[in-house]
């Protein structure tokens, strides 16, 4: 089933023509309405009329999150203030937030792309979506909310946290779909186990949409097994609408990126050079149909690759691999590059391991991995704990080439955040 079959299955040649037309229009509007871009485009000598093929996008300058911060609050706004209908922000790790503006048409387009995503996974009117993302300046909950209402789903704007209340809502209103961060979905699965709830018997859940933070295939499987549902990966970023940029279809084999709205490139993060389909690098996105705040070649910092093969669902928009991490998430430990996702993969694949973990770096490159045991996972036999601990240490060492100190802790012992999970605490002395 499709939300917009013509758009979702548009032939590649027609899609490319549409992209080129929209790219020219976007560049023209940037030059006309945004002084920051006017200057940049003038310096590089590129204008809408000089873009002959899609590859010419490479002649445009990159935009970075530092540019967004430097132009805070409204230096990148391309329309009159009176036509802005929504502000979102994205905080990131340091300094001023990024301000993101949306016109009425932008919100409608974002909702429409979200609707494509939902219908693509089999959501239908009659479904009840419990939206466990944070409502507010964060795009996560609201953009999903608008898309779900467009499809005709009943939405419960639950927000995150308060698992008792989530369960009550879920039972009383027979929620069939949930939208959550993967860390909250995992945490909630642990909460249900503790409460003795059998999702199959006691709940009506069918699917979960998880995103907003990196997570591994092992985490997906763990949530699917614990809740007995299908879990779909949802990718997006505030700078590009929030959720609904790329989403898995029923095949669950990569996320279709809506190429009629975003022009994608994969580059080598170190050199900025383009990489071919199938090769992993940094995702760079250009908005193709945004009114309030068009962005040219935005460096997402997210590491992924394009899956070039056509998808069996019939959609022609290319798929992205699961995000492997952010280029700025990489840890360097004793000279070795380590991504937190590598650690998560090992932990979540290991029986006996629970739903939360924390990586702490101390002293001179000391790594401590604290991990919760599964609910009911400790049978009182200390030797079983010792075995699990040494098994995890060995598997981690094989994966990341650094030997961490593994600490097993009881279920629920580690801090849990309602927003995006904080997986790494770096207390190293520099």
Which parts of this chain interact with ligand DLL (CB under 6 A)?
Answer: 90, 133, 138-140, 211-214, 233-238, 242-243, 300, 302, 323, 326
Residue whose CB is less far from ligand DLL, 10 or 423: 423
Tell me whether residue 213 or residue 217 sits nearer to ligand DLL (CB atom).
213
- Tokens 């994969």 belong to 266
Residue placing its CB nearer to ligand DLL in the complex, 135 or 378: 135
Question: What DSSP assignment string belongs to 53-83?
Answer: SGGGGGGSPPB-HHHHHHTTTTTT--S-GGG
Least Å distance between CB 298 and ligand DLL? Answer: 10
Please state, in angstroms and rounded to a whole number, the distance separating the CA atoms of residues 227 and 190: 10
Give the shortest CB-38-to-ligand DLL separation in angstroms: 26
Looking at the Cβ atoms of 391 and 417, the one nearer to ligand DLL is 417
| Count of beta carbons in the 10 Å neighbourhood of residue 430 | 4
Q: Supply the minimum distance, in Å, between the C-beta of residue 337 and ligand DLL.
A: 18
Q: How far is the CB of 185 from ligand DLL (least distance, A)?
A: 12
Minimum gap (Å) between residue 246 Cβ and ligand DLL: 8
Closest listed residue to residue 224, CA positions, set 257, 248, 240: 248
Segment (H or E) for 147: helix 139-151
8 or 344, CB closer to ligand DLL? 344
Q: How far is the CB of 115 from ligand DLL (least distance, A)?
A: 15
Taking a C-beta distance cutoff of 8 angstroms, is the pair 120, 3 a contact?
yes
Phi then psi for 323, rounded to 5 degrees?
-65, 125
Q: Which residue has the tokens 């590491």?
A: 303
Q: Residues near 162 by Cβ (< 8 Å), separated by ≥ 6?
A: none
Q: Which helix (DSSP H) or strand (DSSP E) does residue 2 occupy?
A: none
The residue among 85 and 91 lying less far from ligand DLL, judged by its C-beta, is 91
Tokens of 76: 């990148």
Q: Which of 103, 128, 120, 126 is closest to 33 using CA atoms? A: 103
């Amino acid at each position: 089933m499709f939300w917009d079959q013509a758009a979702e299955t548009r032939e590649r040649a027609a899609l490319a023509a549409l992209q080129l037309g929209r790219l020219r229009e976007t560049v023209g509007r940037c030059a006309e309405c945004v002084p920051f871009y006017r200057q940049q485009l003038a310096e590089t000598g590129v204008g809408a009329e000089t873009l002959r093929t899609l590859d010419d996008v490479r002649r445009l300058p990159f935009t970075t999150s530092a540019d967004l911060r430097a132009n805070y609050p409204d230096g990148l706004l391309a329309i009159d203030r009176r036509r802005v209908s929504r502000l979102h922000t994205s905080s990131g790790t340091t300094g001023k937030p990024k301000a993101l503006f949306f016109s009425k048409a932008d919100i409608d387009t974002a909702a429409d792309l979200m609707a494509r995503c939902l219908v693509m996974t089999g959501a239908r009117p009659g479904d009840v979506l419990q939206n466990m993302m944070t409502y507010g300046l964060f795009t996560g909950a609201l953009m999903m909310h608008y898309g779900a209402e467009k499809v005709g789903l009943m939405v419960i704007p639950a927000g995150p946290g308060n698992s008792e209340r989530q369960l009550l809502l879920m039972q009383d209103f027979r929620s069939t779909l949930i939208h959550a961060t993967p860390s909250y979905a995992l945490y909630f699965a642990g909460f249900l186990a503790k409460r003795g709830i059998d999702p199959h018997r006691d709940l009506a859940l069918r699917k979960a949409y998880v995103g907003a933070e990196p997570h591994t295939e092992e985490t997906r499987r763990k949530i699917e097994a614990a809740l007995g549902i299908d879990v779909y990966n949802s990718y997006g970023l505030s700078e590009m609408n929030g959720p609904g940029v790329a989403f898995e279809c029923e095949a669950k084999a990569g996320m279709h990126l809506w190429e009629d709205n975003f022009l994608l490139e994969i580059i080598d993060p170190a050199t900025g050079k383009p990489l071919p389909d199938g090769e992993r690098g940094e995702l760079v996105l250009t908005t193709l149909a945004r009114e309030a705040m068009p962005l040219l070649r935005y460096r997402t910092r997210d590491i992924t690759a394009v899956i070039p093969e056509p998808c069996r669902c019939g959609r022609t928009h290319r798929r992205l691999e699961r995000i492997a991490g952010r280029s700025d998430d990489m840890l360097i430990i004793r000279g070795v590059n380590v991504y937190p996702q590598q650690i998560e993969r090992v932990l979540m694949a290991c029986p006996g391991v629970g739903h939360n973990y924390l990586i702490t770096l101390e002293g001179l490159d000391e790594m401590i991995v604290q991990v919760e045991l599964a609910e009911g996972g400790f049978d009182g036999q200390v030797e079983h704990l010792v075995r699990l601990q040494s098994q995890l240490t060995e598997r981690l060492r094989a994966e990341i080439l650094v030997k961490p100190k593994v600490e097993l802790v009881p279920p629920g012992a580690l801090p849990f955040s309602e927003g995006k999970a904080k997986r790494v605490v770096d207390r190293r002395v520099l």
